Structure 1
């Protein structure tokens, strides 16, 4: 009899929880709302803010500057020449904002993912976004998307997940922030030095 009694106490709890998760009277959850909520969840767990939201120094040290959420490398921050790392286990360096990275590929700057029409994803279509992630190339046909962007992992997302991420990104505040183009590695200088 005890198992039945335990089961009977679970039913009201489940009914209560389902009632809490159900929209209020007159409130309708649309498929678009669900897609945006899913996109927000995916952006959160896939660490997009870790690189695309500039860090600032707060009372406890570096923290994301949420007033510039997902706006990429600050256009006002001109980076000096990247440090040259000696051969060995250290292969890259990054800016204090965590938005500029230097390594064997050159220097990459994290993109503005906000829906700003001029400097972000505001003019992109969901197709542009999916093509970029799937191919690892800007707009699916341009320059390569450079490290540290984890394209090999992100391109494994389903179409539905990529569509949800894009839907969410279109709902966040637009931030006007023109991110610099990537810089190539200093191959010419290295080659010239070794030839002479």
Structure 2
């Protein structure tokens, strides 16, 4: 090699060292996949805003938390964050400057991620176009907006740790557990919380109200709510992929999860998640004795149902396969309390439009068409008709849900 070639090679090496290693395309692609599975864009993109630029309000019982900018802008995003900084945020719940992060960012789930997956997501986020989007100050009430409160919370409820495969379970089951407990953070919605917002653990999916949203994330352990142990595996995989399958459709916040997260799962990961979710230990929450609707209320509800609902759901609640769900034996109809039923009646029900099911049927909202008494009568009727056995609904309950937007 001539001295000119040697000098050129040395210069290239020096330039490469100054610029850092060239991006690993495979790592970025893997990070893009993982970011979709985790639905990172869902929380870190506000309505009408630029992808991953933050600003969306995350409601909590203690005030709103605003998701930060994840694009590589050096002043307002992750431009100065190293892979180690990003790992510390996911694994330890600490920002680049050492501040403790709010657990509205579900690092008690993300702590289970492997370092390799964390690095891949970081590489992907670094590959995005930089967007200048300064962070919005959180709207948490005192003392929840203090580092001291976060320190106490973490001392009581948080321990970092990676996912460890469970002995005796096959790789697919463990992959499904890793995704569901960690990256997909299913328990962030489906896990119950105590008075300080802490959950029993990432593998508890026994149901919880979603603060500030007016929806209930049903138990994945209870067959009467959202347990899937009795589903065919193919149906569950289809439901996760498209939002619609023979047993029902994803509505409300879960429709957003399918659209932003689970529809992107690869075939092996779909099967792994389905296998894990179908293996969850059964739990049945005690239910209050159903209060029968007065005959006049049932008559009013039946008349209103025939006028407004029967053309789609059938005179006897049989529904139309592939279009409108049956109401006879429908878990959302029978759930206690009737939170999700009333939310659908008020706001409408819309399954996600996915490549596998691009034109789903939807239900229009009735909040502006029927008053509280009429909606309560319909809800009471369908909860006690055709063999359904659930409590009557009062107009006050409808009014309370109407006030929650």
Residues in 2 aligned to 1:37 and 1:172: alpha-carbon distance in whole angstroms? 12
Q: Distance in 2 between matches of 1:118 and 1:168?
A: 19
Higher Rg of the two aligned structures: 2
Separation in 2, partners of 1:178, 1:31: 26
Structure of higher RCO (CA pairs closer than 8 Å, 6+ residues apart)? 1
What is aligned with 1:72? 54
2: CA distance, partners of 1:146 / 1:174:
26
CA distance, structure 2, for counterparts of residue 145 and residue 166 of structure 1: 20
CA distances 1:5-60 after superposition (whole Å, capped 9, x unpaired) = xxxxxxxxxxxxxxxxxxxxxxxxx981110000000001110011101123xxxx
Identify if the C-alpha distance between structure 1 residues 140 and 160 changes in structure 2 by more than 3 Å, giving closer, same or farther.
farther
**TM-score (norm: length of structure 1):** 0.57
Distance 2:96 2:62 in 1: 20
- State the TM-score, normalizing by the size of structure 2: 0.29
SS of corresponding position for 1:108: strand
After TM superposition, the structure 1 = structure 2 runs for residues 154-193 of structure 1, keeping only pairs within 5 Å, are: 154-186=110-142
| Correspondence for 1:44 | 36
Deviation of 1:137 after TM superposition, in Å, equals 2.1
Task: Output aligned runs, 1:16-27, within 5 Å.
Answer: none
Give the whole-Å Cα distance in 2 for the aligned partners of 1:132 and 1:156: 12
Distance in structure 1 (CA, Å) of the matches to 2:111 and 2:126: 20
Separation in structure 2 between the aligned mates of residue 107 and residue 143 of structure 1, nearest angstrom:
17
What do you get for the CA RMSD once the two structures are aligned?
Answer: 2.1
SS in 1 for 2:35: helix
For 1:120 and 1:187, the matched residues in 2 are separated by 27
1:118 aligns with 2:70: no
CA positional deviation for 1:144: 2.1
Cα drift, residue 140 of structure 1: 7.3
Once the 2 structures are TM-superposed, how far is the Cα of residue 130 of structure 1 from its aligned partner?
A: 0.3
- Please give the alpha-carbon distance, in whole angstroms, between the structure 2 residues aligned to 1:69 and 1:118: 17
- Structure 1 residues 187, 159: closer, same or farther in 2, change over 3 A? closer
Question: How far has the Cα of 1:102 moved from its partner?
Answer: 3.3
Runs of 4+ residues deviating >4 angstroms: none
Q: What is the CA deviation profile of residues 103-162 of structure 1, one whole-angstrom value per residue up to 9, with x for unaligned ones?
A: 234321101000001100001111110011111122273132331x22122111100000
What SS class does the counterpart of residue 128 from structure 1 fall into? helix
Which stretch of structure 1 is more off in the superposition, 135-144 or 47-56?
135-144
Q: Does 1:102 align with 2:59?
A: yes
